[in-house]
Structure 1
Amino acid sequence: MVLRRWFPEHPPTWTDILVGLFVLVWLPLHLEYLQAIYWGWFLFGFVIGLISIGPVPNSPIGEQVGTWFRRIGVLGRAIAILSFAVVVWIVRRQVNLPSDIVTCAVGGFMSSFILYIFMHLLYSGEVSGWK
C-alpha cells in the first residue's frame, strides 16, 4: 500500500482533529441506544468510510470532484450536502431500513474517520493550523 495515495500532501489540521473528537463523542451517545449492534453493517460502513476518505479523494477523479466542490462556494456546498441528505432520507424511507442498521453503518463510517485522522497524523508527524 502506498500511503501517499491515502493521505493528502498536507498534514491534518486542528479542524480534522476536532472532527475526530466529535466522532469520539458521537459514537457512544448513539450506539448505546441500539437494541442490537449489527457488526456486519458497522464493518461495511467502516470500510466504505476508509475508502471514501483515503484513496478515492486522492485519485485523479477525486481531485476533480474536490476542485469542483471547492469552486461552487460555501452556499453551493451546503446545497449539495443538504440535497444528498434529503435523497438519503427519502431512500431510507422507501426501503424501510431499520434505524439500528442505519445507525450501525453510519457509526462504522464515522469511526473510520478516527483511524484515518490518527494514521494521517502519524504519517505527517504534525498538525497544521486551522482550516
Structure 2
Amino acid sequence: MVRVFVRAPVPDTPASFLATYHRLSVLVNVGFALNLATTPLMAYVAEPYPWGIPLQNTFADVPYDALDAAAAPMFQGLYNNMTMAPLEWFKLDLATLSYAVRYTLVIPPADEFVSHPLRQVNALV
C-alpha cells in the first residue's frame, strides 16, 4: 500500500476576498438605476395635461352632401390620370402622408347584393 504524507493541513474554506467599491462608481450606478426606474414616467412628463388641450368640435353639423361636394373634386384633382399614370396602382403623397389605391370595384346587381359577400374568399375570416 502507498503511503501519503501531508505536510500542512488543507483549510476547509478557501481564503476570502475583500471587494471594495469606489464612491464614484456607486454614485454612477445609483444614477443609472434611477434613470431606469423613471424612464416609463417620462412619457407622462412630456405630454400635456388633458385639460390644457383646447376642445375641438369634431362632430360638426355639416351635412354629408356638403362634404361630398367639397371632397370629391379635391380627390379627383389630386389622383387623376394626369397625376397618376393609367397603369399605376397606388401612390404615396408625401405632402399629406396619404396613400391612393386605384382598382376596379365590381358592384353586383341589387338582387345579388346580399349574397355577394359570401362568395368572396376573404368573407370566411
**TM-score grouping bracket, smaller chain normalisation:** under 0.3
Answer 1 or 2: which has greater strand percent: 2
Structure number, greater radius of gyration:
2
Answer 1 or 2: which has greater helix percent: 1
Greater RCO (Cα-Cα under 8 Å, separation 6 or more): 1
Using the size of structure 2 for normalisation, the TM-score is 0.24
